[in-house]
Amino acid sequence: MTQFTELGLAEPICRAVAAEGYDHPTPIQSQAIPHILSGADLLGIAQTGTGKTAAFALPVLHRLSLVRKKAGPKGVRALVLTPTRELAIQVSDCFATYGRHLGLRRATIFGGVGMQPQIKALAAGIDVLVATPGRLLDLAGRDCLRLDTVEVLVLDEADRMLDMGFIHDVRKVVAMVPKQRQTLFLSATMATPVAELASTMLHQPKRVEVTPQATTVERIRQSVLFVSREDKRQLLVDVLSDKSVGRAIVFSRTKHGANRLAEQLQKSGVTAEAIHGNKSQGARQRALADFQAGRIRALVATDIAARGIDVDGITHVINFELPNEPESYVHRIGRTARAGAEGCALSFCELEELAYLKAIEKAIRQPVPVDDSHPYHAEDIARRSSHGPVPKPPKRGGGGNGGNGNAHNGNRPPRQGGEGAARPAAQKSPSAPAGEGRHAARPQRSRRPRPKAA
């Protein structure tokens, strides 16, 4: 098995990686790093959670460390574009962690915060700049930075960049950097618009495509819970009262809805915070830090705010409201089941959301198992769904993880519906012992360490 020390990376980088407890690279890292070290352009196709950030950060750091030169005032040597501010911060942290012994200058710029600190950071020149496209172009237009010194250009999560409408901004940035450069293009998917953009940016690229042993959807134990609109909030509180739910992201379609959900959870004794575009950058970072540190159990998020969130130990994703775009469902539930682990995705479906559920099942090419064991099961909605009568997944034999426990303990209305409800698997975590609660997971058998930011 390949080790990081065998990839040709500089000793200070290998030392930093080892200090984080990692010896063996993930597949995307072992395949991509040699190509990048050779100076070739790269087209990398890999899902989030596979270690792809370190796959480009480590060799970029190596390249910058080999030739000690200054970018010059307002100049940039390596530029990484990301679609969201949260992802920009995480990528920048990855460069800081693995470049800690190199003495390189690093900066992160994004919108929603004041410009002056960012302008000051750029003034003397930067080795690694991680940026969102809008703020980058704004500062370039104000003559606060130069892009004609860029040696390496990285486009991270290109598919999401296009989904969020940044294609014109990306093209503007590409036109401002030198033609003689190394370009690294990372994407989870390769739809036609993404492939067309890649063809205009890359020169004879090496293609690295990592197909996980199981797709994200296959690794996640999914369930749909049919419920009337008026019972949704109480059902959420009921689910989160289960101790097997160690750390959860709850998705709302709107910013206002996210705020209301977080407030209700707090009043019900569940530690929760909302994160969305109307929150200040400081508030968003504090909420994310509290979630990562385990000070809050539930992060209530909108789709845009959750893009790029990579937090270890997320046991559950709860779709309080189904997305109206089926692709968003896959992105949402991908916040759990990272790096080969298992996870749970629970989707609440009211009458008006049946069409969304049908579109999701068509997109993932499989029906979502129905959990009718909760006390708020709406049989009339279930019968009107594309499922017809509520499907019953095969019962497991006794003695397995989860036993005969039930997530909805305590005083509650009588259980409606039949037996054999879907049992989502959850990831083992300090707050979710194996076998505890109806949503408890099978223990993780093995896990190869990977660099944190991915």
Residue type, 248: A
User: Domain 216-384 falls in which CATH fold?
Assistant: Rossmann fold (3.40.50)
CA angle, 386 then 392 then 395, to 5°: 155
As given in the structure block, the two tokens for residue 221 are 């134990």
Does residue 297 surpass a pLDDT of 80? yes
Average pLDDT over residues 356-376: 90
pLDDT band per the 50, 70, 90 thresholds, residue 1: low
Residue 422 pLDDT level (bands cut at 50, 70, 90)? very low
What is the predicted pLDDT for the residue at 48?
A: 66
What mean pLDDT do residues 352-358 have?
A: 91
Specify whether domain 4-209 bears CATH 2.60.120.260: no
Contacts 24+ apart (CB under 8 A), 351-357: 351/228, 351/229, 351/378, 351/381, 351/384, 352/229, 353/321, 353/322, 354/381, 354/384, 354/385, 354/386, 356/322, 356/323, 356/324, 356/326, 357/224, 357/322, 357/385, 357/386
Residue 409 has pLDDT above 50, yes or no: no
Question: In whole numbers, what is the pLDDT of the chain averaged over residues?
Answer: 82
Mean pLDDT along residues 120-125: 95
Average pLDDT, stretch 180-186? Answer: 97
pLDDT over threshold 90, residue 333: no
Which stretches does DSSP call E strand in 156-212?
182-187, 206-209
- Give CATH 3.40.50.300 domain extents, the chain: 4-209, 216-384
Note the pLDDT of residue 305.
Answer: 64
Task: Answer whether residue 406 shows pLDDT above 80.
Answer: no
pLDDT at 87: 86
Q: Which of 10-14, 50-54, 134-138 has the lowest mean pLDDT?
A: 50-54
Confidence of residue 403 (pLDDT cuts 50, 70, 90): very low
pLDDT at 395 over 90: no
The reported pTM is 0.60
Does residue 137 register a pLDDT over 90? yes
Residue 367, pLDDT above cutoff 50: yes
